Structures are given as structure tokens and as C-alpha cells.
Chains A and B, each alone.
Chain A
Amino acid sequence: DIVMTQSPDSLAVSLGERATINCKSSQSLLYNSDNKNYFAWYQQKPGQSPKLLIYWASTRESGVPDRFSGSGSGTDFTLTISSLQAEDVAVYYCQQYYSIPLTFGGGTKVEIK
């Protein structure tokens, strides 16, 4: 199984400041035949179901604000919120869809400082 390790477990950021979340996979998620990273980020707000934010490591889902960006390739990935807003308080999960079983990171809780 591919193990997804997120860091930090939680972070507190001031409104308008940058938040950075990291995710490392135990094996490469780059599929050679199409040169795509089979990697996604989700946001789960309190009491809600998860919402897809980013796929192919860096493609924003329709409707997702451009303050959210994804980067990285292979085994190391980053989610950046460029200017944290109050509505961004949530737990963020990374996920690999390269192989079964699909696996998620443990989550990173983002709060307002």
C-alpha cells in the first residue's frame, strides 16, 4: 500500500497570511505514460463532507478560489493557501489515486491565529 504522510498535523495562520501543507508518498505517483501525478487535495470543513480542491497535483477543481495552489511531483507535494481567509478553516487531506487501495494522508487542521 502507498503510505501518505502529511505535515504538519495542524497549523495556525493569521488572516491574510500564507499556509503551507506538505504531503509525502511512500512511492512515486508520477505515471510515466502520461506524465501525470495521480495525486489530489481535499478540504473538509467542520461537519461537512470532503470537497475536491486539486487534482493531478496542481489542477484546481472548478470553482476553487485561486488562492489555493498545488505543486510537487513524484513523492513530494505541497498545498499552499496564499492568503488565508476565515472560510478556509478546515482539515485538508492529500490522496493518491495511483493504485488500489486508494489512500489518504492523516489530515492537516488549519486554524486562524
Chain B
Amino acid sequence: EVQLVESGGGLVQPGGSLRLSCAASGFIFSSHWMHWVRQAPGKGLVWVSRINTDGSSTTYADSVMGRFTISRDNAKNTLYLQMTGLRAEDTAVYYCARRGMTTVTPFPFDIWGQGTMVTVSS
């Protein structure tokens, strides 16, 4: 079964750090670009970051640039999001998502994880 499972969320104080993980299974992880998308409570979907297949290229939303780092370990079939300098406005469910096609053509997210909740509060 094709699956993404996030972990690592929790309660953290403002200014703190957290590392999210996303374990992939059931497909060739190293062939797909991967993304993080977040959703604040009761709000819509917001794209956060993406990484190419070998990890050599990363892109970030302006709101997290310089604070968040996306990475991947293809040997472990795992995607990561290192979050530092966390703010109250980073509170959200964080989803990892797979870009559907394995070619360079842009494509939407065909597989999503179940999400992990990050709460930034004192």
C-alpha cells in the first residue's frame, strides 16, 4: 500500500524547534519530489516547502524561509522538516505530500499523509 506517515509533532514554546518526519512506503520514494503543506486549525491549505528527488534542490514559502529546512534520506525512505524559530502562527497540522509524476513536469499531490499537529504556545 502506498503510504506516507508523519510524526514528530507536538507542543513547543515560541522560539523553539521541532523536527517532523514523514516515512514513505509502497512506492519508489527516491523517484518523487516531496512537499510539506500545512493547515492551521479551521483554515485552508498552505504550501510550505518542496524538495527534488535527490535533495539537491529545495524551495520554501516566504513565511518559513530561513527558519525551516526540508531534507530527505532516500536510503531510509524518509522526508524531514526541521523547524526553528517557531511562532504562534506556525501552529497547524503539517502534511507531507507526494508529487504525482516522476518526470520534471509539475504535477499536483496524489498521496498525502495523515498529518501531524504542531502547536506553538507558551
Question: Residues on A close to B: CB < 8 A?
Answer: 34, 38, 40, 42, 44, 49-52, 55, 61, 93, 95, 97-98, 100-107
Contacts and interface: CB of A to CB of B under 8 A. Distances in A.
Contacts of B41: none
Contact of A51 (B59, B61, B112, B115): B112
B1 interface: no
Interface stretch (B7-15, B22-30, B72-80, B101-109): B101-109
Nearest to A1: B62
B108 A95 contact: yes
A44 to B, nearest CB: 8
B115 A104 contact: no
B55 interface: no
A38 B106 contact: yes
B44 A93 contact: yes
Given A42-B45, A50-B95, A52-B108, 16 more contacts: A34-B105, A42-B108, A49-B95, A49-B114, A49-B115, A51-B112, A52-B110, A61-B110, A95-B45, A97-B106, A98-B106, A100-B50, A101-B47, A102-B47, A104-B44, A104-B45
A55 B100 contact: yes
B59 A100 contact: yes
Counting from the closest, the 9 A-B pairs by CB-CB distance are A40-B108, A49-B112, A102-B47, A104-B45, A97-B106, A107-B44, A52-B110, A106-B44, A55-B108
B47 A103 contact: yes
